[in-house]
Chain A
Amino acid sequence: LHHDADFAGGGSEAVSEILAKYGFLIVPIVKVAILVFVVLTLDAYLTWLERKVIAHIQARWGPYRVGPHGLLQPLADGVKFILKEDPMPTGVDKKAYFFAPFLTLMLALTSLAVIPFGPDITIFGYTTNFGIADVNISLLVLFAITALGVYGIALAGWGSNSKYSLLGGLRSSAQMISYELALTLSVVGVLLIAGDFSLKHIVEKQAGDLGLLSWNIVGLSKGGGGFTQIIGCICFFIAAIAETNRVPFDLPEAESELVAGFHTEYASMKFAMFFIGEYTSMIAVSSLFTILFFGGWLSPFPASWILTHYLPSVMLVPLGLWVIFDGIRYETIFGRLILPGVGMVFTLLGVALFFSPTVNELIQGPFWFFAKVGAVLFFYIWMRATLPRFRYDQLMDFGWKFLLPVSIANVVLTSAVIMWRMK
């Protein structure tokens, strides 16, 4: 019995001992499991958010039937995808047809492995990076994965033995080749400032006493090493939308002309794999955008403003209270039970964060990172609800005759400024 007190204290010691010994093996596996779970859930709720936001922009309600505010709609969609019949058209090229959705999903999920979601963390005396792999060429790895991403779509289009799919696949390959150049050149400015391919160092380089003014998009810092990358930022965002085949660059799957483009002939889980792949690459591109131009996990306030560290908890409490207030007068009994419960959890979490400074410090990085990524994703959806699709020749003209020269000009301008400062 008298060992009980020791046990509680010895428990964490035992944990740190195990971590010191086998951490290199355990930690990555745990991180991969958590990341895949989080990202797949995020994908599912991104579809919900997209339908909801577009519906509200168009003065509709959006999903409302399954669960309160349609919150269980992704679950229903998932069940539907699994249970649906999976017919295969005749004359398909089997290798390409089966390989394409697998490749798309695999590459999209792999791209998340090199993204740092926060600064290094220390748990039980074991320091590790906040992400799966801390590679010193993480940006190049991401571009390599993007470069291979074309094959998923091209093979799906070619292997399906369908004219719509083939046209979608062709358009997509042409579009991705054209916009990849602008995408790569638009980050050269950031690379010149950071002098490093590592995404972690690119974020750390943007830290300064000026808060959000030190981020690459503004580029002010005390040392004067930065230079505004607003041109690169705009070029990158446009090229990134084209690379992920989203509106207004969604010609590969233009539903009014090509039925559904490259995935016309896919159903059930194989279609779901394309879908998850598209949303995952949206998250990856938004993360990269945040890291390169908006300071990654850095807070928009100067580090000396201690009070802003309580912002996550201060924001959680009113959110929770609002959900409770909304839930009490919800139409269905299920909603009246669930929503106040969820609101209660939010409120209590906010209060708990307020009174535990260590945990509060730990979530600062991820909080700001995901807040920024969320804002970028919202912008993506907003654009889909607002903009019409490009015509094919407009798309090519824009990519080659406007975006590419502008991003080259940005490279020249940034290097000139850096050269001038060095003198």
Chain B
Amino acid sequence: MSGVLVIFFLLAALAVLGAVSLILQSHPIHSALSLILVMVSLAGLYLLMGREFIAAVQIIVYGGAVMVLFIFVIMLLNAGVEERTNFSKLATFGGIPLALALGGIIAAAIARSTSQLPATGEAALSSTRKLSMLLFSEFVYPFELTSFLILVAILGAIVLAQREN
């Protein structure tokens, strides 16, 4: 069990490191690369929980397709180094207290939850087949609604691209 814990903390540390670096980097491409690190470490965490399909999809969709699009757009626009401003008044009086409050609420919620997560490995959702069974039976309406939403987004993109002609 300790080996699993070590890997968990390693991946968690990598994810947090990537997230912090995402904010602190001044160049958009470096920020995007940090975000990829976060995505891949999250995939590792999913794998650790025995959800291999979700892990692979996390890398293929988020680590691959979505982030490639980010990087592609940043490269295409040739975005330069961002200018860094000092803390504005809004950030000092609105942002920091709100961030602290949010962090406190999440920490309290985690501290209060005593229920164990379902056992890993041979759990109900462990196999890809069971996951797809659930997706296409119990959760078929949310699933279809999501695909409809994506279809609308595609149509919107086409309409926007065609408007000039």
What residues of chain A have their CB less than 8 Å away from a CB belonging to chain B? 93, 95-96, 135-137, 140-141, 143-144, 146-148, 150-151, 154-155, 157-158, 166, 169-170, 173-174, 176-177, 180, 184, 197
Give the distance to chain A from B44, nearest Cβ to Cβ, in Å. 12
Sample (22) of A-B pairs whose CB atoms are under 8 Å apart:
A96-B29, A140-B56, A140-B57, A140-B60, A143-B60, A144-B60, A147-B63, A147-B65, A148-B36, A148-B59, A148-B63, A148-B64, A151-B68, A158-B29, A170-B75, A170-B76, A173-B75, A174-B72, A177-B65, A177-B69, A177-B72, A197-B53
A147 x B64 contact (CB < 8 A): yes
- A95-B30, A177-B69 are known contacts. Are A144 and B75 too (CB-CB below 8 A)? no
Sort A-B residue pairs by CB-CB distance and give the 8 closest, nearest first. Answer: A147-B64, A140-B56, A144-B59, A173-B72, A137-B52, A147-B60, A144-B60, A150-B68
Q: Which B133-148 residues sit within 8 Å CB-CB of chain A?
A: none
The answer for the CA separation of A158 and B72 in the assembled complex, in Å, is 10
A166 x B75 contact (CB < 8 A): yes
1/0 per residue B59-84: CB within 8 Å of A?
Answer: 11001110011011001100000000
B76 x A140 contact (CB < 8 A): no
What residues of chain B have their CB less than 8 Å away from a CB belonging to chain A? 27, 29-30, 33, 36, 40, 43, 52-53, 56-57, 59-60, 63-65, 68-69, 71-72, 75-76, 128
Residues of chain B with a CB closer than 8 A to A155's CB: 29, 33
> Is chain A's binding surface mostly helix, strand, loop or mixed?
helix
The answer for the CA separation of A351 and B76 in the assembled complex, in Å, is 61
The answer for the CA separation of A158 and B77 in the assembled complex, in Å, is 12
Instruction: Give the residue of B29, B40, B53 whose beta carbon is less than 8 angstroms from that of A137.
Output: B53
B29 x A150 contact (CB < 8 A): no
Give the distance to chain B from A140, nearest Cβ to Cβ, in Å. 4
Instruction: Give the residue of A96, A141, A158 whose beta carbon is less than 8 angstroms from that of B56.
Output: A141
Of chain B, the residue at the smallest CB distance from A140 is B56
Residues of chain A with a CB closer than 8 A to B29's CB: 93, 96, 155, 158
